[in-house]
Amino acid sequence: MITLSALGSFALIVGLLTLTPGLDTALILRTAALGHRRRAWGVVLGIQTGTLVWGVLSSLGITALLTASHLAYTVLRWAGAAYLVWMGGRILIPALRRRGGAESGSAAADTAEESPDAGDGFRAGWRRGLVTNLLNPKMGAFYVAVLPQFIPAGAPHVATGTLLACVHIVFASLWAAVLIAFARALRTTLQKASARRVLDRVTGTVIAAFGVRLALGD
């Protein structure tokens, strides 16, 4: 069985990983800042569902096949990159098209301008979070490199790997709760047309940049 020392070491690694600003942070903050609380939690749980899948697959040794196969890894990497660039573009392009006069427009018109975020659907957020996570081969590579080091010899791989993935999920979910609370506290400011435009431009650029970086990565 895994020791408390090993569990603590793994928790420290995934804790630092969770606190590092990245794609997940951008997605959660923007969704919550728009006032879509249920959708934001959908994104969070979608991301964590993907994390659980990666943990289980790594415990079974399946993701090792992914990283060992250059073709499979490349296909997943390009699929993930294309999805992120597309998603970032859907946020960024409408924001760039908005004229300065849009600041005086109504909030309803501003929301309608960007149909990908219409509504507060939990399932839509869950799908976005899940797909974003599963199309990121870096997550698979991380679990292949890190997870086996914390599974003791003779321990049940799937059960132990799932336990470790759940530790990661707990840390990430707690941090997501902090992000959502922060975004909701600033919701009034962030929903102003000028702030919304800046938020969309920054978030869209960050997401698309992650896609480009993924495409150009080794």
- pLDDT tens digit string along 157-175? 888 889 999 999 999 999 9
Instruction: Output 4 or 66, whichever has higher pLDDT.
Output: 4
Q: Terminus-to-terminus CA distance in the chain, angstroms? A: 35
Rg (alpha carbons) of the chain, rounded to whole number:
19
Distance between CA atoms of 111 and 7, rounded to whole angstroms? 44
C-alpha angle 5/9/14, rounded to 5°?
145
Give the rounded percent of residues in the chain with a pLDDT score beyond 90: 25
pLDDT digits (tens, 9 = 90+) for 85-106: 998 888 888 888 865 444 444 3
Maximum C-alpha span of the chain? 66
Tokens of 215: 């495409």
With 0-12 / 13-18 / 19 or more C-beta atoms within 10 angstroms meaning exposed / middle / buried, residue 195 is middle
Q: Classify burial at 74, counting beta carbons within 10 Å of its beta carbon; exposed 0-12, middle 13-18, buried 19 or more.
A: exposed
The pLDDT tens digits of the residues spanning 114-145 come to 444 445 689 999 999 999 999 888 888 888 88
